[in-house]
Structure 1
């Protein structure tokens, strides 16, 4: 019997964010691993995501792409997991989830490509400049134990993944605030399970 929740991914991709989110929900799901050079760029996957990018999910016949959107969707689809605040308390939840998906993603990508907007261009760039974005992220992370307050939410999965990758690969600075925050969220059992599952899918190293 086919699962009503299918997860399309590659273990060397942003799909690791959604694997963590899925493990947090406790939901049953089917995993479809795609290859960058072939199955990700051809049918039937292009009918799910014409961008030819992962991750994506199909839940009860509905497609959701984009990591922040998938995190928010899964939190609402599986409310028993408690991964979204009450609707009256979602200001910080939405604010920082989409700050990480927008300004942080743009600032980090541009910096890694050697793009630094001039003072005039900073008026057009949604993130302004890299240093401003990183400082704002640091203040957000240091305001509460978790990004949206006193409890862990889906926003921590996304924001934490961005910070984790950024500090690991040098696209974000290793500030004490970031290190402390990662220590709180990445020790969670769901995060460990997700990493174990994705690591098991990694290609074997080439023989020396």
Structure 2
């Protein structure tokens, strides 16, 4: 299994995800900022838009962190990172799996690019509604699905940490505490070490 990645991108989430899953994988560096550099030919098949992260696992080749996290969690059920298909928590899990790309990122982009929010028109609501929903989701915790950490916590936890690190997170004890819990996970720390090495 190949993970196409570049440090300081959304690909960090999938290094964390794969470390949580405890599976063997190869990190294949891709310089997305310089398309002239040589690239693994599988990357173009996995990511037609030239974005990271992307994954090649046998004949499966695709991109996007939420899609990859869903795939890994279902492909390796022994890791316990996703509720079973017939588990009542599966629906809530799926909602949180797409909350980062579908709600958090558009709301951040709208707010910090000076867009005019309209929570009734936009599928993501607006930044304030996103923060309110985020805080409710991580309360009482410790994880989105209660006592059990899941792939959804990789997606949402990475957003909590990102917003805090870049000064985008308004004062919110619930989200801040949740982010701190994510930071303490051994798999996160391993991913951070990989990120800092850049290889």
What is the TM-score of this pair, normalised by structure 2? 0.90
Supply the distance in 1 between the matched residues of 2:30 and 2:176 (Cα, whole angstroms): 32
RMSD of equivalent CA atoms: 1.8
Distance 1:200 1:179 in 2: 26
**Alignment match, 2:173:** 176
In the other structure, the counterpart of 1:131 is: 128
| 1:40, distance to aligned residue in structure 2 (A) | 8.1
Residues 168-177 or 55-64, more deviating: 168-177
Residue deviations 1:89-130 (CA, integer Å, cap 9, x gap): 31221122222221111101111211122xxx4332112221
Q: Which residue of 1 aligns with 2:101?
A: 101
For 2:163 and 2:141, the matched residues in 1 are separated by 21
Q: Which residue of 2 aligns with 1:46?
A: 44
Q: What is residue 206 of structure 1 aligned with on the other side?
A: none
Q: Which runs of 5+ in 2 are unaligned?
A: none
Structure-2 separation of matches of 1:62 and 1:97: 20
Q: Could you tell me which of 25, 37, 47 is aligned with 1:29? A: 25
Superposed counterparts of 1:114-125, under 5 Å: 114-117=114-117, 121-125=118-122
Given that residues 55 and 66 in structure 1 are in contact (C-alpha distance below 8 angstroms), is that contact kept between their aligned partners in structure 2?
yes
Please show how residues 51-66 of structure 1 align to structure 2 within 5 Å.
Answer: 51-66=49-64
Computing the radius of gyration from Cα coordinates, the structure with the larger value is 1
Counterpart secondary structure, 2:55: strand
Kept in 2: contact 1:103–1:133 (CA 8 A): yes
1:85–1:93: 8 Å Cα contact kept in structure 2?
yes
Shift of residue 161, structure 1, vs aligned partner: 0.1
CA offset digits 1:9-34 (Å, max 9, x no partner): 00110010000001111111111111
Between stretches 74-83 and 136-145, larger displacement belongs to 136-145
> Counterpart in 2 of 1:154?
151
User: 1:42–1:52: 8 Å Cα contact kept in structure 2?
Assistant: no
Per-residue deviation, 1:39: 4.1
The answer as to 2:138 corresponding to 1:111 is no
1:166 aligns with 2:134: no
Question: Using the alignment, how far apart are the partners of 1:41 and 1:147 within structure 2?
Answer: 40
Q: How much does 1:65 deviate?
A: 1.2
Larger displacement relative to structure 2 (15-24 or 62-71): 62-71
Deviation by residue 1:136-195 (Cα, 9 ceiling, x = unmatched): 111111143101222100000000001110111022224111121122222111111111
Contact 1:40 1:46 in 2 (8 A): no
